[in-house]
Amino acid sequence: MPTDPITTILIALAALVLWVMSLLRHPIGTCPRCKGAHIVQTRLGRVRTCKKCAGTGLHRRRGATTVHGLYWTLTGNRQRQQRREDIARRLDARRTGDRP
Ligand SMILES: [Zn+2]
C-alpha cells in the first residue's frame, strides 16, 4: 500500500475531527479505573467504592472540557451577537414609533 504523506495527513485530520465530534456528543465515558462497576478490589482483596469516579462509574473523557469550552466560546459569542442585534433592532423600531 503506497503511503502518500498528504493522504496520511488527511486521514489524521479526519480522525481528529471524528474524535472531537465524539467528544462533543459523548463527553462522559466509563470510568477507566473500575470500568463502570462503581467498586474496585484492593490489593488485600477487600472491595471498596472507586475513588476515581466516587462510585458513579462515570468519568469525563480526556479533552472533553477543552472541546466543550471551545465550542461554547464560539457559539456563545454568535448567540450574544445575535441578541445584541435583536435588541438594537427593537430599540430602533421603538424610536421610530412603529411596532416590530
Ligand atoms: Zn470508577
> For the residues 63-86, what does the mean pLDDT come to?
87
> For the residues 75-79, what does the mean pLDDT come to?
80
Neighbours of 88 (CB within 10 A): 10
- In this prediction, residue 75 has a pLDDT band, given cuts at 50, 70 and 90, of confident
CA of 65 to the centre of ligand 1 (A): 19
Query: 80 or 28: whose pLDDT is higher?
Result: 28
CA of 81 to the centre of ligand 1 (A): 41
Q: pLDDT for 10-50, tens place per residue? A: 999 999 999 999 999 999 999 999 998 999 998 898 999 99
Closest CA to 12 of 64, 68, 4, 28: 4
- In this prediction, residue 99 has a pLDDT band, given cuts at 50, 70 and 90, of low
The one-letter amino acid code at 64 reads A
| Neighbouring residues of the ion ligand 1, judged by CB less than 5 Å | 31, 33-34, 50, 52-53
DSSP conformational letter for 60: E
- In this prediction, residue 79 has a pLDDT band, given cuts at 50, 70 and 90, of confident
CA of 23 to the centre of ligand 1 (A): 19
